């Protein structure tokens, strides 16, 4: 910290406002670029190179999800030479562990989260190792002869930084061989293929079309089709409870509370009618303007249907309902806000189609290829539609067990219908249905599309941020495009171009964030590390918090908690270890780096270890169950940590 005699810099109100806006915009920009562009592009690269899910999740996808923290560490070390990057990562560790875990358990509608012991032990164990290695690397503190203030500086050697980074290499190896490792300790649950299940077990059934008949396999206690699929097989079945859509119609909210399905039967073609949803005051004022009509075709499926609605047309043999479909562009990411997206499905005796719950939905209709095999996990309400080799398999999650059973039964009819249509077309006795009658589909809502049905704040922020949205949309290619059968159309060159563009945006955004926060810290006479562990840590971690809440709402609460610790491990071992290792080799010629002032960051590391010990004790006593009272304790602990960090400056 500076001497008391040093004059504190002053600035005008305009400078304060400008720095604050620059900080907020950099937070928002990095979050959007990471979630909407960088993670999907890396996911496409991982899929095209067939990188195993566990390895991709721990390397490429982890780097993408934690890119704000990683680049802030690089910028503060190589460019601004401050401790803000270190403070950001240390503060993010505590935020992730406490606030994200609290948010996940509160998002679980059952009021509790069942944690997977094997996965939690792995993640917590490596996080504890990371804390130990970080303490070891930061333990050397001595006065810097070149600093006239005489304050202590932290000395970090190449060997110490390489040891920190090497811990993550070990972590990747363990992730890649987790099944084999668990099988050594749990021989009783070894699968027939020699691989052990370390996820919760659920009933699994398979429906296969053989000739013109559907054959059902006997239920077994396994989940083979979700093996290595975004860690879904590691999710305890207890967390897959009643799900909800979010902003639905008033009628839908009643269904959410009762958990029942409403079945409507009709004899004609249904159509999407007038809007039944609530409309914000700002949207009402814009609705009759030319700009609104130009930007929006306002009708979408949720305007007419609730989440638990099923439409059954017995005359046409048609079933329609809402289900979630897993996005191809986030299937290797451990956590993503857009990992599952809601679609309105229609199944007939001959085909299955779906449209997204968005405006102009017919432009993005998917006509699914004929399929002859369906796998069902009843505990998690998940269906896998299996296609020919080389074609995409689809993962669908039903809102309720009743809808799941009805859809699976209808899929049996659809598979038989596919066989009948193909046989008639082959014999020349009938015309095959035109399955190519739709345009190419977008898998996700574009950045520049108006959020119809949003709150006043959401719509106002959309217009305020529209210039930045427009710039991101047109300077970074969006790889999230599908053909009319739902297969991805992005190529490797496009994915690499998108990744490169994202890197430029993230580097610039990180520099703006670091420079603005350092300037604000100087104006407030607060050490950079303190600003890092408070403001910067919360700003860069908020996207992870949102993604974790969404995951917990959809039944993946264990994944949200495990991802919080996995992100912490990456942030310490790669976010700090890699920049330190590069700087002590390239920047200092293998001499110890001593540019970090000892501003109490080591005390925060001790707090990290203490918080982790409390978490382990609480989870052990509750037998790997998290309750909402745990969330209250976690939030109170985080508030106490903030008070401690700020108190170091003023007390």
- Nearest CA to 345 out of 296, 446, 276, 414 is that of 414
The CA-CA-CA angle for residues 428, 431, 436, to 5°, reads: 130
Kindly report the CATH number assigned to the domain that includes residue 585. Answer: 1.20.1420.30
Give 209's contacts (C-beta < 8 A, 6+ positions apart).
215, 372, 373, 415, 416, 418, 419
**Judgement on whether residues 150 and 217 belong to the same structural domain of the protein:** no
Q: What is the pLDDT of residue 442?
A: 65
Range of the domain at 610: 13-188+455-650
Q: What is the pLDDT of residue 10?
A: 73
Q: What is the pLDDT of residue 209?
A: 55
Q: What is the pLDDT of residue 424?
A: 61
482 falls within a domain = yes
Residues above pLDDT 90, as percent of the chain: 35
Q: For the segment 192-212, what is each residue's pLDDT rounded down to a tens digit? A: 333 333 333 345 566 665 555
290 falls within a domain = yes
Whole-number Å distance between alpha carbons of 242 and 260:
10
191 band by pLDDT with thresholds 50, 70 and 90: very low
**Judgement on whether residues 420 and 466 belong to the same structural domain of the protein:** no
Q: Inform me whether the pLDDT recorded for 473 exceeds 90.
A: yes
**Judgement on whether residues 494 and 389 belong to the same structural domain of the protein:** no
Contact 142, 153 (CB under 8 A): yes
Q: What is the pLDDT of residue 263?
A: 62
Between 278 and 548, the higher pLDDT residue: 548
pTM of the model: 0.81
Q: What is the pLDDT of residue 314?
A: 87
**Averaged pLDDT score across all residues of the chain:** 79
**Judgement on whether residues 412 and 494 belong to the same structural domain of the protein:** no
Kindly report the CATH number assigned to the domain that includes residue 227. Answer: 2.30.29.30
Find which of 54-68, 427-441, 625-639 is predicted with most confidence, using mean pLDDT: 625-639
Q: Inform me whether the pLDDT recorded for 443 exceeds 70.
A: no
Contact 567, 551 (CB under 8 A): no
Q: What is the pLDDT of residue 268?
A: 41
5 falls within a domain = no
**Judgement on whether residues 181 and 208 belong to the same structural domain of the protein:** no
Q: For the segment 363-373, what is each residue's pLDDT rounded down to a tens digit? A: 889 999 888 88
147 band by pLDDT with thresholds 50, 70 and 90: confident
Number of domains in the chain: 2
**Judgement on whether residues 491 and 586 belong to the same structural domain of the protein:** yes
Between 296 and 387, the higher pLDDT residue: 387
Q: What is the pLDDT of residue 9?
A: 65
**Judgement on whether residues 366 and 428 belong to the same structural domain of the protein:** yes
**Judgement on whether residues 383 and 490 belong to the same structural domain of the protein:** no
Token representation of residue 576: 């700090």
450 falls within a domain = no
Whole-number Å distance between alpha carbons of 47 and 206:
26
Whole-number Å distance between alpha carbons of 154 and 134:
12
606 falls within a domain = yes
Find which of 198-202, 355-359, 494-498, 564-568 is predicted with most confidence, using mean pLDDT: 494-498
**Judgement on whether residues 326 and 380 belong to the same structural domain of the protein:** yes
**Judgement on whether residues 426 and 469 belong to the same structural domain of the protein:** no
- Nearest CA to 616 out of 127, 89, 110 is that of 127
Token representation of residue 23: 């900080």
Give me the mean pLDDT over the 416-424 stretch: 69
**Judgement on whether residues 274 and 339 belong to the same structural domain of the protein:** yes
State the Rg of the chain over Cα: 26
User: Pick from 416, 442, 468: which residue ends a domain?
Assistant: 442
């Amino acid at each position: 910290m500076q001497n008391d005699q040093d004059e504190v810099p002053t600035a005008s109100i305009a400078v304060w406002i400008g720095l604050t806006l620059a900080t907020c915009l950099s937070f928002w920009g990095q979050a959007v670029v990471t979630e909407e562009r960088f993670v999907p592009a890396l996911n496409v690269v991982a899929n095209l190179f067939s990188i195993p899910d566990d390895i991709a999740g721990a390397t490429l996808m982890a780097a993408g999800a934690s890119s704000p923290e990683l680049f802030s560490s690089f910028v503060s070390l190589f460019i601004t030479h401050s401790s803000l990057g270190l403070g950001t990562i240390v503060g993010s560790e505590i935020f992730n562990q406490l606030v994200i875990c609290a948010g996940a358990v509160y998002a679980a509608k059952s009021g509790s989260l069942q944690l997977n012991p094997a996965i939690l032990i792995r993640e917590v164990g490596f996080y504890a190792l990371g804390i130990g290695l970080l303490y070891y690397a930061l333990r050397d503190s001595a006065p810097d002869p070149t600093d006239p203030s005489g304050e202590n500086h932290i000395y970090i050697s190449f060997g110490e930084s390489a040891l920190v980074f090497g811990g993550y290499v070990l972590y990747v190896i363990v992730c890649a061989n987790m099944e084999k490792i668990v099988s050594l300790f749990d021989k009783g649950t070894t699968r027939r293929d020699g691989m052990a299940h370390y996820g919760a077990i659920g009933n699994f059934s398979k429906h296969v079309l053989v000739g013109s008949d559907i054959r059902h396999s006997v239920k077994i206690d396994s989940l083979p089709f979700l093996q290595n699929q975004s860690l879904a097989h590691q999710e305890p079945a207890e967390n897959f409870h009643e799900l909800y859509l979010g902003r639905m119609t008033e009628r839908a909210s009643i269904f959410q509370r009762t958990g029942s399905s409403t079945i409507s039967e009709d004899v004609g073609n249904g159509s999407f009618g007038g809007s039944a949803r609530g409309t914000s005051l700002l949207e009402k004022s814009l609705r009759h303007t030319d700009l609104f009509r130009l930007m929006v075709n306002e009708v979408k499926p949720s305007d007419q249907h609730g989440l638990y609605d099923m439409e059954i047309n017995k005359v046409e043999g048609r079933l329609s309902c809402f289900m979630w479909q897993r996005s191809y562009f986030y299937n290797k990411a451990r956590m993503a806000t857009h990992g599952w997206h809601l679609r309105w499905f229609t199944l007939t005796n001959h085909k299955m189609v779906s449209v997204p719950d968005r405006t102009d939905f017919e432009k993005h209709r998917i006509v699914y290829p004929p399929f002859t095999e369906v796998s069902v996990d009843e505990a998690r309400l998940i269906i896998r539609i299996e296609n020919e080799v080389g074609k995409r398999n689809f993962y669908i999650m039903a809102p309720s067990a009743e809808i799941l059973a009805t859809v699976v039964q209808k899929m049996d009819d659809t598979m038989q219908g596919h066989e009948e249509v193909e046989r008639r077309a082959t014999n020349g006795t009938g015309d095959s249905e035109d399955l190519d009658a739709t345009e190419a589909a977008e898998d996700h809502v574009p950045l520049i599309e108006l959020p119809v049905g949003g709150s006043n704040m959401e719509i106002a922020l959309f217009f305020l941020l529209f210039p930045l949205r427009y710039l991101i949309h047109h300077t970074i290619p969006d790889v999230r495009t599908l053909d009319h059968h739902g297969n991805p159309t992005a190529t490797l060159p496009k994915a690499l171009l998108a990744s490169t563009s994202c890197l430029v945006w993230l580097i610039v955004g990180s520099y703006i964030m670091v420079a603005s926060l350092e300037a604000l810290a100087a104006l407030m006479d607060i050490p950079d590390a303190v600003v890092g562990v408070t403001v910067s840590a919360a700003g860069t971690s908020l996207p992870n918090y949102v993604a974790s809440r969404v995951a917990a709402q959809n039944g993946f609460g264990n994944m949200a908690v495990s991802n919080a610790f996995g992100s912490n491990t990456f942030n310490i071992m790669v976010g700090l270890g890699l920049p330190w290792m590069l700087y002590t080799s390239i920047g200092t010629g293998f001499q110890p780096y001593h540019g970090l002032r000892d501003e109490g960051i080591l005390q925060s590391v001790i707090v990290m270890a203490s918080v982790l010990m409390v978490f382990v004790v609480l989870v052990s006593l509750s037998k790997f169950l998290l309750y909402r009272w745990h969330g209250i304790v976690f939030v109170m602990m985080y508030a106490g940590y903030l008070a401690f960090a700020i108190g170091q400056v003023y007390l």
